[in-house]
Amino acid sequence: QVQLVESGGGLVQAGGSLRLSCAASGRTFSNYAMGWFRQAPGKEREFVAAISRSSSRTYYVDFVKGRFTISRDNAKNTVYLQMNSLKPEDTAVYYCAAGSGSYYATPRGPEMYDYWGQGTQVTVSS
């Protein structure tokens, strides 16, 4: 089992920044690719970004490229999502997830992830 706890969400004005953190405990953190997803009210959960086990590869959905950065610190068992130039449409509950797979994998589908956090709310006001 892997337990994931997100933090860092909150209310921010459009154009502002937030950094989300996701602390992992349980099994060896570096054995898992990590991803961030989000779910806005009335919408399905959608992929945001993923990072491979050793941080060698990252992948972003088009609408966050250039604004969001995913990173991880395996020594601290933590994955981060730096969000800049936030827009009202970024408002959602953000979830981190841990997925098994190949060493260089950056999974994008939620079905590729085995463990999920409880989510943290991000609200961007206009």
What is the reported pLDDT for 112? 95
Count the alpha carbons within 13 Å of 97 in the hemisphere toward its beta carbon.
25
Model pLDDT, residue 100: 86
User: Phi and psi dihedrals of 53, rounded to 5?
Assistant: -55, -45
The per-residue pLDDT for range 27-55, each reduced to its tens digit, is 899 999 999 999 999 999 999 999 999 99
CA 63, CA 54: separation in Å to the nearest integer? 24
Task: Say yes or no to pLDDT of 101 above 90.
Answer: no
* pLDDT for res 7: 98
Place of tokens 């992830």: 113
Q: For 50-98, how does the pLDDT look when each residue is reduced to its tens digit (9 = 90+)?
A: 999 999 999 999 999 999 999 999 999 999 999 999 999 999 999 999 9
